[in-house]
A and B are shown apart, each in its own frame.
Chain A
Amino acid sequence: MKRSPIAIVGLGVLVLVVIILPFTATNYLLRLTTIAFMYIALASSWNIVGGFIGYPSFATAAFFGIGAYASGILRGASSLPLPATWLFGAAAATLFSLLVGPAILRLRGHYFAVASLVLAAVLREITNAATTLTGGGMGLNLPAVGAINVDVQTRLYYVSMLVAAALTIGLATLIWRSRLGWAMRCIEQNEDAAIVLGVNTLATKILGFAASAATAGLVGAIYATWIGYIDPTDAFDDLLSVKPIIMAFIGGVGTIFGPVAGAIIFLVLEEFVWRNVLNFHAGILGIIIVALLVFMPGGIGSIGRGIEKLRAYGRAGRTSDISGAAPPVVPS
């Protein structure tokens, strides 16, 4: 594939900024960038199921929470190195996806969406009830990482989330370019036609679901040690399922770059609104999101079309012919 020089330069600058930041930036900015990496990973993770396969998944929170709790519990019970506990979290989320995937991936459309949404709710209740293992509603405190100071810790999680985001984008790209990616695109377009061509649609969907689970689980695991404390409402928060969808929609669903750009735009908006309109931030953010989705239904790539649409509304208002259609020809 050919890339434009602008894209290469842009990517180069981005890589440079990411490398330089830990040496120059304040802890606040680093923390914000770490959240950006987390959002990028979650949006790209959702995109594998929601974008490539076209299945509206609300399971991100379930995967995230399992990753967080599995790694958190293991960390409390053992002295394994951090990355090992994180991988354990990712593995637990993957295992969970392989257990429920074959059942709920037979459902289509809204039915699948609801089934995937319920997963986090059920897990939240189970986590609440399993007090001895998870601490229940009291939450789970994770031991801090050795005796290192705040500056080093901030940079440790900066790098870790960066790696998680890179792994997720890498995995998504790998899938997108492979035979599996083609099968997913076919399912997204027309599942029956895909079956007719011999695509094993259930297996394809399960693999995509598992890839999404592994990456979201890894992010959840890193998040748990980063924050140092998790509780059921936080780790299985439904917003963790909803936000990645919004990000992917902002940037462009079903592309590699879309969720990345969308996650950054979303974070900037979220942070900006949060800092400036503290007592109505959720409302303002909601309005912005609705406006973005109305005028850029295909993500930022379609902003031209959105402006065109606005102009068309303007024209329709000025002229008497609102429909824009030619008047019917009356045969004489």
Chain B
Amino acid sequence: MVDLLKASGLCGGYGDVQVLHDVALTVKAGEIVCLIGSNGAGKTTLLRVLSGMAKSTAGSILFADQDLRGLPAQEIVRRGIAHVPEGRRLFAGMTVRENLLMGSYLRGDGRAVINKDLDFVLATFPKLAERLHQDASTLSGGEQQMCAIGRGLMANPTLLMIDELSLGLSPKLVGELSKALTEINRAGQSILLVEQDVATALRLASTGFVLDTGRIVLSGPSNELVANPSVREAYLGMTAA
């Protein structure tokens, strides 16, 4: 498979505080990659650097063979990376439909194409179709996450980055969302997933990267990571036999 996103030697953070140290991460076209790690490991910061929301100080971010580092956020969206931020961040006072359509803010292709994508999102998340003309702030947590992911998809991205998929959601809802993501992925969507729930993340993804205090300490196919004693002990709460 072709490398879609290839970050290497990436350093970055906020102001004088360096959070990321020499991070390397690759997402191949068509796969789901998960980024796992404990609280404060720098997962969100890495996503923010990739989407141009936070500054990087060194390294490169190759996306479809072009360096994205230093580009403004809107240019990165335009080139095909959509970021579903942590905590959903929907727009209150706007309906579900309006929130979803804001996802296609930068797209120049006509209404027909955008409506087709809207239909796809609503087919993927039928609950959103029921609530289409409701204020987004009246949605439940799970529905808000669906709306946020749907809004990301409306940008018609080559790569969809989701920060904290399961945050504050019941296991049943996480299961539903996982199923939806698998479907979306089967339709060809590449996904980079940040997740604290390591078991869920590794079940969904084919490749995993483990971030610890701003450094990638481990990476590989999900099934190998699941079997890795240090991952089992540190993140899955199982002591090595």
- What are 22 pairs between A and B in contact, CB < 8 Å? A182-B98, A182-B102, A183-B105, A185-B93, A185-B94, A186-B91, A189-B94, A190-B89, A193-B91, A195-B53, A195-B73, A195-B74, A196-B53, A196-B73, A196-B82, A197-B102, A197-B105, A197-B155, A198-B155, A199-B74, A200-B72, A200-B74
Instruction: List CB contacts (< 8 Å) of B44-68 with chain A.
Output: 51, 53
Compute how far the CA of A196 lies from the CA of B84 in the bound complex, rounded to whole angstroms. Answer: 8
Interface residues of B in 131-168 (CB under 8 A from A): 151, 155
Residue of A nearest to B84 (CB): A196
CB-based contact B89/A182 at 8 Å: no
Assess whether B91 is in contact with A192, with CB atoms less than 8 Å apart: no
What residues of B have a CB within 8 angstroms of the CB of A182 in the complex?
98, 102, 105
> Which residues A185-216 have CB closer than 8 A to chain B?
185-186, 189-190, 192-193, 195-200
| Residue in contact with A198 in the complex, picked from B73, B84, B89, B92, CB distance below 8 Å | B73
Q: Is the Cβ of A197 less than 8 Å from the Cβ of B53? A: no
Give CA–CA (A199, B84) in the complex, Å.
14
Chain B residues close to A by CB (< 8 Å): 51, 53, 72-74, 77-78, 82-85, 89-94, 98, 102-103, 105-106, 151, 155
- Inter-chain contacts of A192 with B (CB < 8 A): 53, 85, 89
**Cα A200 to Cα B53 with chains together (Å):** 12
Q: Beyond A197-B103, A198-B77, A199-B105, is A189–B92 a contact (Cβ under 8 Å)? A: yes
* New contact pairs (7) apart from A196-B73, A198-B74, CB-CB < 8 Å: A185-B94, A192-B85, A195-B53, A195-B73, A196-B84, A196-B85, A197-B155
Docked Cα-Cα span, A249 to B7, in Å, equals 48
**Cβ–Cβ < 8 Å partners of B151 in chain A:** 197
Q: What is the CB-to-nearest-CB distance from B79 to chain A, in angstroms, rounded to a whole number? A: 10
The 4 closest A-B pairs by CB, nearest first: A198-B77, A193-B89, A198-B106, A189-B91
Interface centre among A186, A192, A198, A199 (most CB of B within 10 A): A198
Closest chain A CB from B205 CB (angstroms): 22
Which residues on the B side are within 8 Å of A196 (C-beta)? 51, 53, 73, 77, 82-85, 89
Among A185, A189, A199, chain B packs the most CB atoms within 10 A around the CB of A189
User: Measured between alpha carbons, how far is A189 from B102 in the docked complex, in Å?
Assistant: 13
Chain A residues with CB under 8 Å of B106's CB are 197-198
- Give Cα A37–Cα B219 distance, bound, in whole angstroms: 66
Cβ–Cβ < 8 Å partners of B93 in chain A: 185, 189
How distant is A253 from chain B, measured CB to nearest CB, in Å? 12
A199 to B52, alpha carbons, bound, how many Å?
Answer: 12
A15 to chain B, nearest CB (A): 30
Chain A contacts for B94, CB-based, 8 A: 185, 189
CB proximity of A212 to chain B, nearest CB, Å: 21
When the two chains form their complex, are residues B53 and A198 in contact, meaning their CB atoms are under 8 A apart?
no
Within the complex, what minimum Cβ distance (angstroms) separates A239 from chain B?
31
A179 to B102, CA, bound (A): 10
CB-nearest residue of chain A relative to B151? A197
A residues less than 8 Å from B90 (CB atoms): 193
Residues of chain B within 8 A of A189, CB atoms compared: 91-94
CB distance from B108 to the nearest CB of A (A): 12
Q: What is the distance, in angstroms, from B68's C-beta to the closest C-beta of chain A?
A: 13
Query: Are A197's CB and B77's CB within 8 A?
Result: yes
B91, A185: Cβ atoms closer than 8 Å: yes
For A186, what are the chain B residues with a Cβ–Cβ distance below 8 Å?
Answer: 91, 102
Shortest C-beta distance, B196 to chain A (Å), equals: 20
